[in-house]
A and B are shown apart, each in its own frame.
Chain A
Amino acid sequence: DTGVSQDPRHKITKRGQNVTFRCDPISEHNRLYWYRQTLGQGPEFLTYFQNEAQLEKSRLLSDRFSAERPKGSFSTLEIQRTEQGDSAMYLCASSLSKGDTQYFGPGTRLTVL
């Protein structure tokens, strides 16, 4: 499967714990995006990378959230001191260029107890 992959697919954690998610984009795609989707809502943009540079961050990305893409390939999204409001599906997408289709991964479902 050469699509976008995400790991883990599900994560259950206790409030206050830190969690990290990984996204592996389609190999030739230099653009990578993170979105968050809560129940009954469409995906909401969190952040965007072009190669290893993080070029855009949403106001939704509080200081407890950090994303990296150190070698311009895979990306990680870390949430520190998780809160119940962080419970959501975290989606990763990648594209070849700005106007190109964004291809989505299966998502990581986070549940904060």
Chain B
Amino acid sequence: AQRVTQPEKLLSVFKGAPVELKCNYSYSGSPELFWYVQYSRQRLQLLLRHISRESIKGFTADLNKGETSFHLKKPFAQEEDSAMYYCALSPAYSGAGSYQLTFGKGTKLSVIP
């Protein structure tokens, strides 16, 4: 069984400060990791995924298999980054049990002007 843990329910940072949203996972196989974001009154949308190794809106995340972590980072927070962030995991194999995303409980990021 897979599990995703986001230890912080709420994270408040000042504009221009660095941001790190923590995500730890538990999964015995090879995972695919994602960060989804939900801005106020908008639908859940993909922010980034580890296999693409992209930087989206200044955010990056590195998969650390040794620490089973996939923390989301941004060097300088902007007010428009205020949102709910969810870390999610999907098994990398194809087959039974592999199609679902397992989400963490989410971290609400509040960027203080």
Cβ B102 vs Cβ A45 within 8 A: yes
Cβ B49 vs Cβ A33 within 8 A: no
Chain B's interface size range is: 20 to 34
The reply to whether the CB of B45 lies closer than 8 angstroms to some CB of chain A is yes
Cβ B43 vs Cβ A105 within 8 A: yes
Cβ B43 vs Cβ A99 within 8 A: no
Given A41-B105, A42-B106, A98-B94, A33–B99 Cβ distance below 8 Å? yes
Q: Is the interface of B mostly helix, strand, loop or mixed?
A: loop
B residues lining the A interface (CB < 8 Å)? 4, 9, 32, 36, 43-46, 49, 86, 88, 94, 96-106
Q: Is the interface of A mostly helix, strand, loop or mixed?
A: loop
Number of A residues near B (Cβ < 8 Å) is: 25
Cβ A104 vs Cβ B44 within 8 A: yes
Q: List 23 A-B contacts (CB under 8 A).
A: A3-B43, A31-B99, A33-B99, A33-B101, A41-B105, A42-B86, A42-B105, A43-B44, A44-B103, A45-B101, A45-B102, A48-B100, A55-B99, A56-B99, A56-B100, A91-B44, A98-B98, A99-B32, A104-B44, A104-B45, A105-B43, A106-B43, A107-B43
Cβ A42 vs Cβ B103 within 8 A: yes
Rounded to whole Å, the gap between the CB of A74 and the closest CB of chain B is 18
